[in-house]
Amino acid sequence: AVVSTQSGHYGRADELFWEESDNIFSDVKNELLEHHQSYVEGEQLNSKTLSNLITQISQFQEDNLGYGNKSDATRIPSRLFYQPKTLAVILGTIYKYRSENNWRKVDFTTSGRMAKHLEILSSIWNTFFEMGVQTRKKILLSEELDEANREKLKARIERGG
């Protein structure tokens, strides 16, 4: 099967790529069942369902965290969506959050849950930090900066993770 990775805007893979990625999804499904079983019980873990969720989170990031947006949240790098272990962590964290908050489903297209969706992204980042998949960046601020700008930058860095 031909796999399409043609971008909608800034690197978001289209839904066909995920729907046609049965090899990736069999590995992801195994990871989910092994490490997140209590959160995915009763879920339809097929390529259509998972591709829909991946496409939604990708689109959410593009619309709300992409170029020109004012949010301080940090996007999940797209390369992590193409590795079965990290993709399973992303999806497992989403299902865990949904279960813990008694949501019937996760829908990243609902604009009224923006703060909750950003919490999910924060949870995913924290899981990656705990696993060592990502490391927190160390940022040095020049001593030449005046105190007002130094404090503004510090606050911005802390909000951005």
> Identity (one letter) of the amino acid at 56?
Q
Residue-wise pLDDT tens digits, 55-114: 899 888 888 887 777 777 788 888 888 888 899 999 999 999 988 988 888 888 887 888
Can you give the pTM of this predicted structure? 0.73
For residue 51, the surrounding DSSP H or E stretch is helix 47-65
Given pLDDT bands bounded at 50, 70 and 90, which one contains residue 124?
A: very high
Phi and psi at residue 31, to the nearest 5°: -60, -45
Phi and psi at residue 159, to the nearest 5°: -65, -35
Residue 14 confidence (pLDDT): 58
Phi-psi region of 153 (alpha: psi -120 to 50; beta: other; left: phi over 0): alpha
Given pLDDT bands bounded at 50, 70 and 90, which one contains residue 9?
A: very low
